[in-house]
Chain A
């Protein structure tokens, strides 16, 4: 059994991928609680798709894809923020417009320049093809995201629960919302390499959705989300190594399975209570 665990770790591509995956899972897990309870699942999905043109442009222009992706994410966040409240537009309307437009632009660009293999890597992740530089970037971004969430926890809490009170004490909910979107965007970018653009949402939403079925307090939801994501990443990795299944899809399947189990557990618990 121990051998079974240790064997793949001898390969540096596996080890690098695993470390990157665990870091991504931690960052996604800690954000997940706020994403679910602030009702931001849709914008997480939109950001994941909107970074596609950034990635493709980075390939064309020859700079690192994570930098291209981050730029695209920041531009999308600014665009969504600018459109929201303009002539009474609701945020989801703005998200819808930007999301579809940016994704279409990405597909168009990919069609012109890159091969089919690039497309699958971007859409479904390529965790085992991580370079040393990628790893450093992923670790740094993940640590920064986690630190920022901890440092600004009380501001995130008060703007989520009661935006009017936040404004009344001189704290701008818009500023906090914008800052949080940048965190989501950065995390989405590093998560893209793990599970790909299409399935990032699973890492941003499913862990906290599962945790919320089991525990009530937000810090616990966040800690449990991190745990759930890390386990899913590890299971995904080993399955991919031993059974030759795509790691990204396996990770999402494991996350979903956890959710289903938690869902039935909480249903049964509730019916026993009654």
Chain B
């Protein structure tokens, strides 16, 4: 069964969203990497509605990337369940796309910006099919949106960190997924790119798509997000940004006691 689902690639594996289902529903997920005794995720449950924009925060090693890998179907679920628009996680490749952390990509490989963005269309093509007019238009539009049309023939290895991140987001737009996962997209990114990313995310959410962004930059949250998920192996808090980002929650997640600093302070 596992190999069959892994090899299902192309248009025939597309499943339209089931009506009246959440964009993402995670219930009771536990996860431990094979060969490790420490669990990475403990009974994590989350529900994200279509059109929602949610920040996933937590310290390093909190399980943010693992959770995204599970949603994307890169790791097998061990217990609990993950559904995307009513479909089991690894069967739903057309509905979900991820902007990965920069380190998971071979940036030295000789490909152009356009070729990378076009990879977002592969999920719709599958074996033996070449990109058609519709695919090329989607690629053009995605590059325009991320303002990289002028560098479309450049090698990705020659780009700045911000430009590379724009290329990855453009690829996700070309994928035309309904649920976007962005894994630490703000690392090594210039302010202009950050602004463009948030503007784009805002727009696609207004079209009914959902976005989940992991970050450990707490400062950015209050400006751009209303809902925040605080994860540290389990969901510590979930809700409005002002309710979630309390000193207590931050202290709990980042593992220091907040009041000690005060006692040692000047007063």
A218 and B111 in contact, given A157-B119, A162-B100 (Cβ under 8 angstroms) = yes
B42 at the interface (CB under 8 A from A): no
Interface residues of B (CB under 8 A from A): 5-10, 13, 72-74, 93, 96-98, 100, 104-106, 108-112, 115-116, 119, 122-123, 125, 127-128, 130, 155, 171
Query: Cα distance A79–B75 when bound, in Å?
Result: 25
Q: Is the CB of A175 within 8 A of B7?
A: yes
Q: Which 8 residue pairs spanning A and B have beta carbons closest together? A: A170-B9, A169-B123, A218-B110, A171-B9, A161-B109, A162-B105, A170-B93, A168-B72
New A-B pairs, 6, CB < 8 Å, besides A161-B119, A162-B106 = A161-B105, A161-B111, A168-B93, A170-B5, A217-B112, A218-B110
Q: Which of chain A's residues 86-133 have a Cβ closer than 8 Å to chain B?
A: none
- Inter-chain contacts of A163 with B (CB < 8 A): 104
A216 — nearest CB in chain B belongs to which residue? Answer: B155
A37 at the interface (CB under 8 A from B): yes
Query: Cα distance A221–B112 when bound, in Å?
Result: 13
Query: Cα distance A93–B74 when bound, in Å?
Result: 26
A169 and B106 in contact, given A157-B111, A216-B155 (Cβ under 8 angstroms) = no
A61 at the interface (CB under 8 A from B): no
- Range for the number of chain A residues in contact with chain B: 20 to 34
Query: Cα distance A170–B123 when bound, in Å?
Result: 8
Q: Is the CB of A162 within 8 A of B119?
A: yes
Q: Which interface residue of B109, B110, B112 has the most chain A CB atoms within 10 A?
A: B110
Q: Is the CB of A167 within 8 A of B6?
A: yes
Query: Cα distance A194–B25 when bound, in Å?
Result: 59
Residue interface bits A170-187, CB-to-B below 8 A is 1, else 0 = 111001000000000000
- A101 CB → nearest B CB, Å: 27
- B76 CB → nearest A CB, Å: 12
Query: Cα distance A221–B110 when bound, in Å?
Result: 9
A140 at the interface (CB under 8 A from B): no
Query: Cα distance A218–B111 when bound, in Å?
Result: 7
A165 and B119 in contact, given A160-B106, A170-B93, A217-B110 (Cβ under 8 angstroms) = yes
- Inter-chain contacts of A216 with B (CB < 8 A): 110, 155
A175 — nearest CB in chain B belongs to which residue? Answer: B7
Q: Is the CB of A160 within 8 A of B155?
A: no
Q: Is the CB of B109 within 8 A of A165?
A: no
- A42 CB → nearest B CB, Å: 17
- A174 CB → nearest B CB, Å: 9
Query: Cα distance A151–B125 when bound, in Å?
Result: 13
Query: Cα distance A25–B96 when bound, in Å?
Result: 42
